[in-house]
Amino acid sequence: MQRADPAARRQIAARLSCAAIVASLTCLPGGSRAQSISTACSIGSPGFTFTYDPMSRLASQSISSVRITCTNVTGALPVEISLSTGRSQSFAARALAAPAHGGTLGYNVFYNGTRTVFGDGSGGTAHYQRVLLPGGTATSDAFGIELFVPPGQDVPVGSYSDVLELSVNF
């Protein structure tokens, strides 16, 4: 197994995989006749890219954001966004993997400038929870996320990645 020397650095990327979510609502105004309103929401994030140096005493960090945009919002729209565990199946110990040699690199994603793990709201994790109000043709909001890789991990040189999924419920 090849170990990194002080001059060797590698790019490590964790990409957020996002999908558009569409919901169809049926409203009954005054109990008289049904009126169909289609509210669509999409979420996206540019993800993270950063360099990790196993010889450094400093953590590696990268800042990104998540944006939600909803169209046809006609009233108060409660929205929740959560982030999956990734390959590790654990919010507490997410891990980037290097398929070429099987190495792993521990990391986590924190929510909106806090040191609270971004997850689904369970087990002490945070998730996005807001009520969006109508705002013209589209209503949008954004919040910050931070990727944090603790120092002192002796890992082989290589490319490391994980796939996290953002989910939106409204």
Q: Which two tokens stand for residue 119?
A: 């997850």
CATH tag for 13-169 (out of 2.40.110.10, 2.60.40.1090, 3.30.230.10, 2.60.40.1260): 2.60.40.1090
* pLDDT tens digits, 121-170: 999 999 999 999 987 778 899 999 999 999 999 998 889 999 999 999 98
Q: Where are the domains of the chain?
A: 13-169
User: Is residue 34 a contact partner of residue 27, using CB atoms and an 8 Å limit?
Assistant: yes
If pLDDT is split at 50, 70 and 90, which confidence band does 37 have? low
pTM of the model: 0.76
CA neighbor of 18 nearest in space, from 45, 37, 56: 45
* Torsion (CA) 154, 147, 107, 169 in degrees, nearest 10: -160
Q: Do 98 and 159 form a contact (C-beta atoms < 8 A)?
A: yes
Q: In Å, how far are 31, 60, 64, 135 from 107, measured between CA atoms?
A: 52, 9, 15, 37
pLDDT in tens, 72-124: 898 899 999 999 999 999 999 999 999 888 899 999 999 998 999 999 999 99
